[in-house]
Amino acid sequence: MTNDPHKKHEPPHTGPLTAESQATLSPSEALGWLVAGNDRFVREITLDRDHAAAVRATAVQQFPFAVVLGCMDSRVAPEIIFDAGIGDIFSVRVAGNYASPGALGSLEFATLVAGAKIILVLGHSGCGAVAGAVQGGAEGNLGKLLEHIAPAIDAVEDFTGNRDASNPIFTHAVARENVKMTIDQIMTESPAIAAAVREGRIGIAGAMHDVSSGAVNFFDRR
């Protein structure tokens, strides 16, 4: 994924992909569509979409270009913040966007079976799950969930401010580290995805969504 995705997103598509257009799409182009879609969202120039037509076009088959592993947070809806439509994005969402076994299987289906070209692990500012992991002390199933995010806390090194949940700069750093570690985990625990990334058949990238602006900052492209 060496090409600049910003240069490869024209013209924007306004309807679902076909088998052919999905097959000929490169991982860099797919990432570029996410970049361009978020740019349109932030600039308030989202595309006009005929959702009813998209429903008809995808009634029998779907050919999404991306799969997003994101947080369940109500402000981080992938189809909206990436200005995408019905049939465009597989959306895997769980608090703290960690790669549970179910999420890993979903990512494998989305890319290796259904043909999506890019995996995006999407964290966000103001993440309650990350803040909860930093704070600690949660019980029950929520406590078990937050244990999956906890390793990202120690992974934030050289941080000089308060390392607690009251510091949004620290929780943001943990959320970003959680994204990077989740990508590493996907590459380790899914040999099939790792092979597809190495061979250039699919791409994987991380991103942080700023809930105060709607802007997505992309990083860790592979």
Q: Which is nearer to Zn ion, 26 or 97 (CB)?
A: 97
Which residue's structure tokens are 């024209």? 10
Residues 4-33 close enough to bind Zn ion by CB under 5 A:
none
- Residues 124-153 vs Zn ion: string with x where CB under 5 A? ---x-x------------------------
Q: Nearest approach, Cβ of 208 to Zn ion (angstroms)? A: 11
- Judged by phi (left if over 0) then psi (alpha if -120 to 50, else beta), residue 19 lies in alpha
Smallest distance, Zn ion to C-beta of residue 73, A: 4
Beta carbon of residue 50, minimum distance to Zn ion (angstroms, whole number): 32
**Residue among 9 and 124 whose Cβ is closer to Zn ion:** 124
| Sign, CA torsion 179/128/169/38 | positive
Of 89-128, binders to Zn ion (CB under 5 A) are: 127
Please state, as a whole number, how many other Cβ atoms lie within 10 Å of the Cβ of residue 86: 20
94 is written with which tokens? Answer: 């769980």
Distances (CA, A) of 133 to 10, 43, 171: 41, 33, 9
Buried b (16+ CB within 10 A) or exposed e, 141-161: eeeebbebbeebbeebeeeee
Q: Does 216 bind Zn ion (CB under 5 A)?
A: no
Q: How far apart are CB 67 and Zn ion at their closest, in Å?
A: 18
Residue with Cβ nearer Zn ion (71 or 120): 71
Q: How far is the CB of 121 from Zn ion (least distance, A)?
A: 12
- Taking CB under 5 A as the rule, does residue 71 contact Zn ion? yes
The piece of 73-81, 110-118, 139-147, 166-174 that touches Zn ion (CB under 5 A) is: 73-81
Q: Kind of pairing, strands 216-219 and 203-209?
A: antiparallel
C-beta closer to Zn ion: residue 57 or 127: 127
Alpha carbon distance 221, 20 (integer Å): 25
Q: How far is it, in rounded angstroms, from Cα 160 to Cα 125?
A: 19
| Size of interface with Zn ion, in residues (CB under 5 A) | 4
Half-sphere exposure of 191 (CA within 13 A, CB side): 0
Q: Quick one: which of 29, 73, 108, 177 contacts Zn ion (CB under 5 A)?
A: 73
We find the least distance from the C-beta atom of residue 128 to Zn ion, in angstroms, to be 6
Nearer Cβ to Zn ion (73/83):
73
Question: Which residues here bind Zn ion, judged by CB under 5 A?
Answer: 71, 73, 127, 129
